[in-house]
Structure 1
Amino acid sequence: MKHILNGNELIERGYAPGKTLGLALSLIEKGFEEFNKEELITLLLEVKAKPEQFIDHEILEKLATAIIEEAAAPVDETIALSAQATAYTVYGGDQIEEGARKQMNIAMRLPVSVAGALMPDAHQGYGLPIGGVLATRNAIIPYGVGVDIGCRMALSVFDISESHFHENEAQFKRELIAHTKFGAGHGFHGQYKADHEVLERAEFNLTPMIKNLHDKAYSQLGSSGGGNHFVEWGIIEFEKDDGALNIPKGKYLALLTHSGSRGFGATVAGHYTRLAKELCKLPQEAVNLAYLDMNSEAGQEYWLAMNLAGDYASACHEVIHKKLTKAIGAEVLARVENHHNFAWKEVWNGEEVIVHRKGATPAGKGVMGIIPGSMTAPGFLVRGKGETAAINSASHGAGRLMSRTKAIQNISRDQMRAILKEHKVTLIGAGLDEAPMAYKDINLVMDAQKELVDVVARFSPKIVRMADDGSRED
């Protein structure tokens, strides 16, 4: 008689869909006419449980061999992505390249992703795009934070008038050169080293790897690295009194700095990204979004190291600002600081999440931040509006229009000198990869995020210092 047995009945009893199931169903048609349905199921379950006992069976040998081979086959530990990306909000979409959108789409397919947003300065990066904001559930993505952990902006507003600055520009230029240091891998030595309480933090003993970075952190404290990092004098204009900062309407000299956690942060980022890739197997297109479970030892280690790197980056800015404030003999009227390569524990839609802001500024309601333009374009002191769709975020700058390679290939020194002269900006250092033309129009970027921030004041760069070779961090 023909057996009435289907695959679902075997699946319900422990067989998995696939080749082995098909083989089992085909073999029971050969020589088991005297068996009823339950006897067949019992037999096939016995083969599955003890296949080695059926290796010499005339009919079931193929099934037993297939089950043994399947058990011995390496297990695919790749974590599947969702078929569809979770919806996210895009600001200034007409200015954002397709590569950044594709990266964000992949990030929104991670099983840990809860919400996302793309800022108007977004462009392609590694893993999460620069300008990408991603909220995850109990997971931290090292490349979602970025290589330069805790990279930030810091602004000091002084009791010095615009006229006094212009009358003494040569002095301000000398002090800027004397009290700043740039270049990947560069740091201070001997009597020129700064000190800060962050160097005494217990987290420097967290692991042997982090402990071994202490000397590098000490030597690079108060330096600025390479790439797009800068220290600059400029004029900041408040068009009306700002009660929160206690600054009357007017123009003031200001110091603006942009840098991160130097070689210390870069090494931490590289180490935990490699570890995340070992522990979290993702499909090739998502490999740079490998994440660490916040309940794991590795996740907790990275979280502590990331926060240490963020505080170290803040200490670097503090050292720079203190040195230059002392050098010019000024009083600080207000100081604002924010980081944009970091992850925070926040509540979003009633749930605690980990918010990654890779090249994005925190913009919760009432939160102050600084969004720079380029060396010739204005920057903006802003106050966040707390927009939920943006996950309380805004852009971290104008964003790149050209890659570094493309900028070097397409922009000449003469062109760069001409635009600096046109805007009356003195530049010390910087490569062609940091030319103003390599960046998007900051005004268009700001227009695209009016619902995210209010502009408090406008900063115009006047004397800008960057790494001499435009180098990037080691």
Structure 2
Amino acid sequence: MRFEDGIPVFGQHDAQTLGQLRDVASRAERAALMADGHFGYIMPVGGVAAYRDKVSVAGVGFDIACGNAAIRTDLTLEDIQPHLEAIAEEIASSISFGLGRTNRADDAPVDHPLFEDAAWEAIPGKAERKALREKARAQLGTVGLGNHYVDVFADEAERIWVGVHFGSRGLGHTIASGFMALSQNRPWGSRGAEVEALLDLNSELGKAYWTLMNLAGRYAYVGREWVARKVVQILGGRELELVHNHHNFAWKETHGGEEYIVVRKGATPAFPGQKSFVGGSMGDDAVILQGTVNAAPETRALQEAALFSTIHGAGRVMSRRQALGKIDRKTGKVLRPGQVTEGAMRKWLKQKGVILRGGGLDESPHVYRRLPEVLEAQGQTVEVLHTLRPLIVVMAGANEFDPYKD
């Protein structure tokens, strides 16, 4: 760890990312950047910022409560090894990726008590409230696009885990967009300028956002746990342990005796003993971590500097456009070739023994850092409890449309 203009920074980052971090830090009380960080929207992914009685709409982001959940099952690799291809097909057909609920699963918790929560009243306008609630109900338990996934892993003892990564879907995106507009005195549903939008939690607007952010957090938890447990059911196993955490969220916390609103954007809470599931890429190991317990004084100082935060993944080193290149949508002509080829991605997965369903070149292992290197850069602030080897990775297809993105 080093300091950039007094800001704790783990790992190596480009000038654009560090500049974005400095900009955020200029309005925050404290800030830090994790080793998987990269340039983001207003605030760098991997960034952590602490405010007094304020929350950053752009900091929490448009995928409010994006996070990871992992379940350790009672199964072993020997139990499922002969059926991996069939299991991959069953997951792909039973869980919704990209297109909404077009799968065979009809038991998603669309009547969950959270849909009757008083928090919905914080959405301005009766018609807007009804529309958003129904959209949220319709998509609960769907995974979406991009780097969101369902994985089946084996750990160092050949025990089977299920891992998922996604957030609050269109609910979170609509809340973030709405408050970005409201913060600029624009109507809900309109497009505002790209700003951080710091909301005072003592104001009516800030209170309303905080209420709805937490509603989106509950919604994401329900969705991830339903999907993960659905996959455990497909495997024919039982749940023995659940590790679950957000990495796009804000929390009320005390650091150094002072109370802050801590915003983590692509960063995971890692207080001593707090567990988290952190993925690598479709062709790399994942890990179960915990914040280091009984750390030595120098390590404890690093934990405190990081605001007890850690990485949320391996971190991108290549944009989606760089990976895919540029193609004329009308003619299909390649205007600029991408840096990743289908052959290279398939070769990597074959060598790792990973069965992939869906997934585009923009999610190839080539576009990510290597997780062990990122973990090394975080020092002894976290400790690895389990290393998870991917067996099956299921994602949205490269050309799938997501009607719940907006």
TM-score band w.r.t. shorter chain: 0.7 to 0.9
What is the aligned partner in structure 2 of residue 380 from structure 1? 287
Measured after TM superposition, the shift of residue 431 of structure 1 is 1.3
Which structure 2 residues correspond to residues 452-467 of structure 1 after superposition, within 5 A? 452-467=381-396
What is the aligned partner in structure 2 of residue 173 from structure 1? 88
Measured after TM superposition, the shift of residue 189 of structure 1 is 8.8
Partner Cα separation in structure 1 for residue 196 and residue 15 of structure 2 = 18
- Structure with higher RCO (Cα < 8 A, 6+ apart): 2
Q: Secondary structure at the match of 2:343?
A: helix
Between Structure 1 and Structure 2, the one with more strand by share is 2
Partner Cα separation in structure 1 for residue 393 and residue 152 of structure 2 = 7
Structure whose alpha-carbon radius of gyration is higher: 1
Measured after TM superposition, the shift of residue 176 of structure 1 is 1.1
Cα contact 2:252–2:260 (8 A) shared by 1: yes
What is the aligned partner in structure 1 of residue 39 from structure 2? 124
The alignment's TM-score, normalised by the length of structure 2, stands at 0.86
What is the aligned partner in structure 2 of residue 393 from structure 1? 309
User: CA offsets, 1:156-212, max 9 Å, x none?
Assistant: 1111111222122133223312321111x6235998262233223221232233442
What is the aligned partner in structure 1 of residue 366 from structure 2? 437
Residues 210 and 392 of structure 1: CA distance in aligned 2, closer, same or farther (over 3 Å): farther
Cα contact 2:267–2:309 (8 A) shared by 1: yes
Residues 166 and 133 of structure 1: CA distance in aligned 2, closer, same or farther (over 3 Å): same
Q: Secondary structure at the match of 1:131?
A: strand
Partner Cα separation in structure 2 for residue 415 and residue 133 of structure 1 = 34
Which segments of structure 1 move beyond 6 Å, counting only runs of 4 or more?
none
Cα contact 1:149–1:309 (8 A) shared by 2: yes
Q: In structure 2, which of residues 17, 35, 45 is the aligned counterpart of residue 100 of structure 1?
A: 17
What is the aligned partner in structure 1 of residue 100 from structure 2? 186
Q: Secondary structure at the match of 2:34?
A: strand
What is the aligned partner in structure 1 of residue 153 from structure 2? 234
| Residue 150 (1) aligns with residue 65 (2) | yes
Which structure 2 residues correspond to residues 403-414 of structure 1 after superposition, within 5 A? 403-408=319-324, 409-414=338-343
What is the aligned partner in structure 2 of residue 348 from structure 1? 255
What is the aligned partner in structure 1 of residue 113 from structure 2? 197
What are the ranges of 5 or more consecutive residues in structure 1 without an aligned counterpart?
1-84, 238-249, 280-285
Q: In structure 1, which of residues 421, 430, 436 is the aligned counterpart of residue 350 of structure 2?
A: 421
Q: Secondary structure at the match of 1:376?
A: coil
Which structure 2 residues correspond to residues 11-90 of structure 1 after superposition, within 5 A? 87-90=6-9
How many residues were matched structurally?
367
Measured after TM superposition, the shift of residue 105 of structure 1 is 0.3
Partner Cα separation in structure 1 for residue 395 and residue 67 of structure 2 = 15
Which one-letter code corresponds to 1:129 in the other structure?
P
| Aligned residues with identical type, % of pairs | 37
Q: Secondary structure at the match of 2:390?
A: strand
Partner Cα separation in structure 2 for residue 360 and residue 206 of structure 1 = 27
What are the ranges of 5 or more consecutive residues in structure 2 without an aligned counterpart?
187-192, 293-299, 325-337
User: CA offsets, 1:116-139, max 9 Å, x none?
Assistant: 110000000011100000001111
Q: Secondary structure at the match of 1:159?
A: strand
What is the aligned partner in structure 1 of residue 327 from structure 2? none
Cα contact 1:361–1:369 (8 A) shared by 2: yes
Q: Secondary structure at the match of 1:458?
A: strand
What is the aligned partner in structure 1 of residue 48 from structure 2? 133
Q: Secondary structure at the match of 1:377?
A: coil
Partner Cα separation in structure 1 for residue 277 and residue 215 of structure 2 = 22
The alignment's TM-score, normalised by the length of structure 1, stands at 0.74
Which one-letter code corresponds to 1:327 in the other structure?
I
User: CA offsets, 1:230-286, max 9 Å, x none?
Assistant: 00111122xxxxxxxxxxxx220110000000011111111112222449xxxxxx9
Q: In structure 2, which of residues 229, 232, 241 is the aligned counterpart of residue 322 of structure 1?
A: 229
| Residue 358 (1) aligns with residue 358 (2) | no
